[in-house]
Amino acid sequence: MAKLLVTYYSRSGNTEKMAEIIAKAARGVTGLDVALRPVGKVTPDDQLGFDGIVMGSPVYYGTMAADIKKLLDDSVVHHGKLEGKVGGAFASSGGPAGGNETTVLDIVKALLIHGMVVKGDPQGDHYGPTAVGAPDERSREECARFGRRTAELVKRLFG
Ligand SMILES: Cc1cc2nc3c(=O)[nH]c(=O)nc-3n(C[C@H](O)[C@H](O)[C@H](O)COP(=O)(O)O)c2cc1C
């Protein structure tokens, strides 16, 4: 069965809520195994066992938190081996123009360097779901949409 990992760093729970909504929506797509794990519980080796990996971070000074960057940097041991897997990113900022899109794109850039397949969204949050603080109704819908769409892509490519 195809496997999707939803991983995140969260200090005050906002990004974690987004991750939970994404994982729940992904689990609504049948025929897929979805794991939800804080980034501290994911090793570079673990990443090899998934067909899709999405990462969420709070915005720290306009970019991802160090814990997410650490997993990405540590995954250099498997450089080239994540190629073709599905990727995606999401972020929560403190303010409406606080850097959530730059954070999503910074994560996406790293996933693209790994050779991962990242799907944009022509209707919803284009680069990946964002929230300002805790996800409001709009963000919740975007997270659910992202979870569904990512799961469907993983299933289409690896199911
Ligand atoms: C060290 C640090 C840096 C931050 N930098 C920014 C920032 O540049 N822009 C912003 O909008 N919010 C910033 N914030 C606020 C967090 O991104 C925001 O509160 C987020 O919702 C926290 O997510 P979490 O609950 O998952 O930890 C910062 C918070 C911390 C602790």
pLDDT, one tens digit per residue, over 38-62 is 999 999 999 999 999 999 999 999 9
Reported as a pLDDT band with limits 50, 70 and 90, residue 147 is very high
- Ligand 1 centroid – CA 49 distance (Å): 30
Atom of ligand 1 nearest to the CA of 13: 25
The amino acid sitting at 85 is K
Q: CA–CA separation, 150 vs 132, rounded Å?
A: 22
Ligand 1 pocket: which of 7, 9, 57, 59 to mutate (most atoms within 8 A of CB): 59
Distance (Å) from CA 111 to ligand 1 centroid: 22
The SS3 assignment for 137 reads: helix
Distance CA 55, CA 52 (A): 10
- Does the beta carbon of 136 lie inside 6 Å of ligand 1? no
127 lines ligand 1 (CB under 6 A): no
Tokens at 10, concatenated: 């969260």
Q: Give 63-118 pLDDT, tens digit per residue.
A: 999 999 999 999 999 999 999 999 999 999 999 999 999 999 999 999 999 999 99
CB atoms within 10 A of CB 31: 10
